[in-house]
Amino acid sequence: MPAPQINTFRVGKEIRVAKHPTEGEAPRDGLFPLAQGQLGHLRREGVLALAEDKVMSLSEAIDRLVQDGDCLYLAGFTHLIPYAAGHEIIRQGRRNLTLCRATPDLIYDQMIAAGCAKKVVFSWAGNPGVGLLRCFRRKVQAGEIEIEEYTHFGMVARLFAGATNLPFFPLRSITGSDLPEHNPNIRTVTCPYTGQALSVVPALNPDVAIIHAQRADRHGNAHIWGIIGEQREAAFAARKVILTCEEIVSSEVIRSDPNRTLIPGFLVDAVVEEPWGAHPSYAQGYYDRDNDFYFEWDRISRSEEMVRAWLDEWVYGVSNRQEYLARLGAEKILQLRVSSHFSVPANFGSRR
Amino acid sequence: MRYTSAEMMTIVAARRIKDGDRVFVGVGLPNLACNLARRLNAPNMQMIYESGVVGANPSRLPLSIGDPCLVTGAVCVCSMFEVFTFYLQKGLIDVGFLAAAQVDKYGNLNTTVIGEYHHPQVRLGGSGGACDIASLARQVLILLPHERRRLPERVDFITSPGFMSSRKERERLGLPGGGPAAVITDKGILEFDEEGEMVLVSIHPGVELEDVKANTGWDLKVSPQLTVTEPPTERELTVLRQEVDPEGIYFRR
């Protein structure tokens, strides 16, 4: 029997997880079938069958849940950026969106270039490690797009307030900066205990948050590891959540390591299995950042014509992510794949 | 060994980090300087990134502050909210290390716009975590090339507060962090006097004082104890070139 592996481009039907090193002799690949593991009772007792199956295609998820004029938060700080979902929004021609992200990154540069956005809410608009976001910058310099600007702390504090049902969040930053002069949503309150003046930012509650996870079950319970950025805050703050993931796994895999679950399924409205859905950003343990493309975009985005040609080829010219990947090619995919580096499993103990 | 002024600047910046410092590492050159310091004078420094990585131990030079190599082997990865609240706002960060497009006489930083905010000549990236780091770190080190347009008397836009117009003014604002400690350029090292104004305290070897003054946008104060910066050692240059930036990503050679 070929050894199936978690953390691969496509997982086989059989789900395997790392075995605890103290439980007898580990198989040579360090993995064992989970069905024989300790959580089999969940399936036998029907616990898993109660939850709703939310799996659908990306085009269906965007069609059902994202409307013109919506306020969106595509989460992920340099890591797990939901590019596949962003491209589907472009393909479906959504307009007048308010695009919120601490770091708009290339995905919002592309959505702005495609005419999806009327406003961008952000804290750092650059091409990480490369330079500037040229499409964004052209629109701002021409006065063709609204902006609302914070600091990183301000942005994540807005999400935290939104996620915890508070009207605003106080911070000991921003005071002294010129940002509040140009953003009336940054205000000041007097602390009722000390009398000190504190900057406050308003809660952010996007209509839809889109999160890309490494793995999730069919109900949307999602494991995320590596840089987690503002993904959990965005999911809890939003009215609706679309979850795309590298692979759908059984609920037993999720429940074998509950500390790794950042997003509980009951927040999630749609689950989409979209391998390589974060390319050209990266997915820790799955594939590396496509740095060549980040540099390439710097060149492409110098001219509006080249941007249009790129969108025609890579977004409008493909009908889904599979076609995008086929165009990307095996050589590139092999180049970006990473080798395995597992953490040591945590022992949760057993009472049976 | 011959060296470039950019290499000199990075090496001088790395020397400012003390072993054991908890350093909040900014985008660009600060990232390079910290990764150099960790291999030389500060093996026990803790590198903390706004992406939520604490105690990073990267095997190669991280290409951005969200590079996966920062995660592998780190002490902890937390959310951005946690890194800004538990670590930075709590006061656990000894040194905030920032780059900027412009820095003025009182150490105020601009990374937002050149020109008018709504119709800028040049739109830059914005604050990111810079304003938060400048407000909350115990001290701030600033790294930038020494050019007249980058060192104006007043920045076009205060993204991140230094001393505003004096140390007293910063104190009045109630910002918890200590403010800028030094500006390191490719021409010299500048610190801040009791009023919070920038003073040239050291000049790099081979740089003329007139050249520094001509490339500063106001009448720059010069310390009566002006020293000449120690030139890079062979070891510093070797580690920088062979270990930190072997592919010449930052320094084209």
Compare all CA atoms of chain A with the CA of B121 and give the residue at the minimum distance. Answer: A141
| CATH code of the domain in which B179 resides | 3.40.1080.10
Q: Compute the distance between CA of residue B160 and CA of residue B96 in angstroms, rounded to an integer.
A: 12
pLDDT value for A55: 97
- Residue B214 falls inside a structural domain: yes
Q: Compute the distance between CA of residue B102 and CA of residue B120 in angstroms, rounded to an integer.
A: 15
Query: What positions of B carry a catalytic annotation?
Result: 50
Contact between A273 and A61 (Cβ < 8 Å)? no
CA distance to partner chain A, nearest, from residue B54 (Å) = 11
Taking 80 as the threshold, does the pLDDT of residue A35 lie above it? no
Low-confidence residues in chain B, pLDDT < 70: 27, 252-253
pLDDT digits (tens, 9 = 90+) for B70-95: 999 999 999 999 999 999 999 999 99
- Residue B18 falls inside a structural domain: yes
CA distance to partner chain B, nearest, from residue A140 (Å) = 8
pLDDT digits (tens, 9 = 90+) for A231-244: 999 999 999 999 99
pLDDT digits (tens, 9 = 90+) for A123-147: 999 998 888 999 999 998 888 999 9
- Residue B193 falls inside a structural domain: yes
Q: Do A226 and B63 touch (CB under 8 A)?
A: no
Nearest to A153 among B112, B132, B174 (CB): B132
For A271-299, what is the mean pLDDT? 97
- Residue B250 falls inside a structural domain: no
Compare all CA atoms of chain B with the CA of A172 and give the residue at the minimum distance. Answer: B175
pLDDT value for B214: 98
pLDDT value for A17: 46
- Residue B107 falls inside a structural domain: yes
Which residues on A lie below 8 Å from B75 (Cβ)? none
The DSSP call for residue A42 is H
Q: Compute the distance between CA of residue A33 and CA of residue A76 in angstroms, rounded to an integer.
A: 31
Q: Do A124 and B126 touch (CB under 8 A)?
A: yes
Helix (H), strand (E) counts: chain B: 8, 14
> What average pLDDT does chain A have?
89
- Residue B253 falls inside a structural domain: no
Q: Compute the distance between CA of residue B209 and CA of residue B224 in angstroms, rounded to an integer.
A: 13
- Residue B184 falls inside a structural domain: yes
CA distance to partner chain B, nearest, from residue A288 (Å) = 7
Beta bridge partners of A77: none
Contact between A270 and A209 (Cβ < 8 Å)? no
pLDDT value for A284: 97
Compare all CA atoms of chain B with the CA of A182 and give the residue at the minimum distance. Answer: B117
Give the dihedral sign, CA A200/A202/A203/A208: negative
Q: How many A/B residue pairs have CB atoms within 8 Å? A: 171
**What is the domain extent for residue B203?**
5-244
- Residue B252 falls inside a structural domain: no
Q: How many domains, in total, are found in chain B?
A: 1
pLDDT value for B61: 82
Q: What is the ipTM of this complex?
A: 0.96
